[in-house]
Amino acid sequence: MKVIVSTGRLCTVTVKMCACEPERYGLWPASADKPQTAFSIPLLELFVCLSLECQVSVEGFCNTLRWKNNLTLAEVNTLYRALVGESISHFRHHHFRQRSLVDICPQLDDGTICPACPKADGDMIVTLDANFGLVRKQSSGTSVVEPLHGTRMFVDEKDVEEYLLLHLDSSKPHEDCSTFKAGNMLRSQKQAKKLDVTGVFGASCRHEMPLMFVNMSQGERLAYPLYVIDELLRRCEDKNIHLRVVYDIACVVASHLHKSGEGIPHNISLAVPAFHVYGHKLPCQIKYSTRRLDGFGLTDGEGMERLWSFLRRFARVTKEMTPSHRLDLLTDALLHYGRRKSNDLGLSTADHTQIA
Ligand SMILES: [Zn+2]
Ligand SMILES: [Zn+2]
Ligand SMILES: [Zn+2]
């Protein structure tokens, strides 16, 4: 069998295979069925950490090893061809399952639950935002298999499409009282022809734990925030949770809900983030600033902007990926971000308390 050792070089060794213990020799197979090549696990671990933390691409990683370990160009090409297959996403997923133990006990936290938000009877502050950088090119292929993570972070696209069809009236945010969105709208229309995902709409809690994400296939439509709000409400049904939603154009959402006759549900409050609100007309600044409304504390509502500044760096890699691979990498990235947030929650909460 051929083994790619921790320097990135290919060696030939004899390995007696046993299907039930993939990590026994510290090797990870390049393919699930009758593998001919295997990787050293420390090598893959290094790659996974580098890709989650610094968005290193396979190509970048191979070239790094080339200069660090004096690989020849032929060795780099062999390494590249071995690494671009399925095995990396399976490896990442295997580690996720090992860490979260969700296979053994589905009730365990899979990394999507915020330790600090109320699970029942309380107020939950969530921030919503769209990002038009996290696109996918139509020419980047199709997937035959579903993402390994399923709908852990990204909701089912069929669900969203059905919702969009049912809510045709909420086509575009017509009353444009904020100037921030204009550029995004233009860009998303110009490029939409070559892209099948034009951006990502997401929600995080006030502690910046990622909650829910939607692939957008059309420009900015009010139906996306409405869908996410509906879905969040459905998730905290019967739990006596008051949802406080902070969104760049919450004022437009509010006036849409009033106009359509639905009204704002009693268990929701809407607000505009503390900095974005200055792009709005004066009445909005008074009515919707998180600094002026009750119950929002000192939450600035800009948590999604901070999350995007991490996640958008993956766009360079994910825009060229197949739909399932892309969702798996973005989900793993979000889980990584969530781990960072929940591990540091004690410190960040202490800091926030001090400021307050
Ligand atoms: Zn065995
Ligand atoms: Zn939280
Ligand atoms: Zn406004």
| Statement: residue 323 has pLDDT above 80 | yes
Q: What percent of the chain has pLDDT over 70?
A: 90
Query: How crowded is residue 116: how many other Cβ atoms within 10 Å of its Cβ?
Result: 14
Nearest ligand, measured from the Cα of 24: 1
* Residue 29 to residue 42: CA distance in whole angstroms: 13
| Statement: residue 338 has pLDDT above 90 | yes
68 band by pLDDT with thresholds 50, 70 and 90 = very high
DSSP for 114-148 reads -SSS-SSSEEEEEEEEEESS--EEGGG---SS--T
The confidence score (pLDDT) of residue 183 equals: 44
pLDDT in tens, 109-164: 888 889 899 988 889 999 999 999 999 999 988 888 899 999 999 999 899 999 88
> What spacing in Å lies between the alpha carbon of 18 and ligand 1's midpoint?
5
Query: Of the given ranges (29-33, 76-80, 313-317), which has the lowest mean pLDDT?
Result: 29-33
> What spacing in Å lies between the alpha carbon of 266 and ligand 2's midpoint?
21
* Residue 164 to residue 168: CA distance in whole angstroms: 6
Q: Phi, psi at residue 208, to the nearest 5°?
A: 70, 25
Residues with CB under 5 A from ligand 3 (ion): 177, 251, 280, 284
| Statement: residue 212 has pLDDT above 50 | yes
Return the sign of the alpha-carbon dihedral for residues 283, 287, 292, 298.
negative
Query: How crowded is residue 78: how many other Cβ atoms within 10 Å of its Cβ?
Result: 19
> What spacing in Å lies between the alpha carbon of 291 and ligand 3's midpoint?
15
> What spacing in Å lies between the alpha carbon of 37 and ligand 1's midpoint?
19
Question: Which distant-in-sequence residues (6+ apart) come within 8 Å of 143 by Cβ?
Answer: 322, 323, 324, 325
pLDDT in tens, 84-120: 878 888 999 998 998 888 888 887 788 888 989 998 8
| Statement: residue 272 has pLDDT above 60 | yes
Q: Among 31, 10, 13, which residue's Cα sits nearest to residue 74?
A: 10
The confidence score (pLDDT) of residue 255 equals: 86
